[in-house]
């Protein structure tokens, strides 16, 4: 019986060596045929979107703001050579639009015309006199054709015949100048020199910023 087992073992060994001389399976296909290898059942790994809920909200908000930005009321197209400093100056002044008028006021609780201008310039470390009349004596007087954004525009709105009102130029359109100021009736608003009232009361325009600011 022992001899039969030994002979059977030798025959099995010889047959196995004949079909695979090395005794080692080196091909995946061969292994699959022999039934000693099968394709893993796990699914293929796919990269997932790892954006968190917070990130998605931020992205959606950013996309939305980019789409609607040009429709904002205070949006100013960047289509001229206005310096970054002047743009920031005007942007700061625009933040006060809608604030009510208050004589001597310099805050969002209320402000007068010179209070608006002096507060905005002070934000950028530019000191100006507190009254519009004194402001008109600072800087360089300009011809209307030379006025630029960031300049100051003055008016005589009282019967005394002296400068008593000031605004900050926000835009120049050919023969029209837009300026932000604090109106007694309407508070901080943007007005135009095309308006009859300001055509009649216009006094002068000054450049109080140095050339390096433009």
Active site residues: 113, 165, 181
- Residue pair 112/185 in contact (Cβ under 8 Å)? The answer is no
Q: Render 24-71 in DSSP notation, one character per residue.
A: ----HHHHHHHTS-----SPPP-------HHHHHHHHHHHHHHHHGGG
Task: Estimate to the nearest angstrom the gap between the alpha carbon of 61 and the chain centroid.
Answer: 13
Are 156 and 143 a contacting pair, CB within 8 Å?
A: no
Q: Which two tokens stand for residue 86?
A: 């002047």
- Write the DSSP symbol of residue 15: H
Q: How far apart are CA 163 and CA 125, in angstroms?
A: 25
């Amino acid at each position: 019986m022992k001899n039969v087992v030994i002979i059977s073992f030798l025959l099995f060994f010889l047959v196995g060596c004949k079909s695979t001389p090395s005794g080692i399976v080196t091909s995946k296909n061969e292994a699959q045929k022999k039934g000693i290898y099968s394709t893993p059942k796990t699914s293929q790994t796919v990269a997932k979107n790892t954006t968190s809920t917070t990130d998605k909200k931020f992205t959606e908000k950013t996309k939305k703001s980019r789409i609607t930005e040009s429709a904002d009321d205070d949006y100013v197209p960047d289509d001229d050579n206005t310096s970054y400093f002047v743009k920031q100056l005007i942007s700061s002044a625009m933040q006060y639009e809608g604030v009510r008028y208050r004589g001597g006021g310099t805050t969002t609780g209320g402000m007068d015309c010179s209070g608006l201008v002096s507060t905005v310039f002070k934000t950028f470390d530019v000191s100006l006199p507190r009254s519009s009349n004194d402001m008109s004596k600072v800087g360089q007087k300009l011809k209307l054709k030379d006025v630029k954004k960031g300049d100051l525009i003055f008016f005589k709105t009282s019967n005394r015949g002296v400068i008593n009102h000031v605004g900050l130029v926000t835009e120049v359109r050919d023969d029209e100048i837009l300026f932000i100021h604090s109106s007694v009736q309407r508070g901080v608003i943007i007005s135009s020199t095309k308006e009859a009232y300001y055509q009649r009361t216009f006094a002068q325009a000054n450049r109080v910023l140095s050339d390096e600011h433009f």
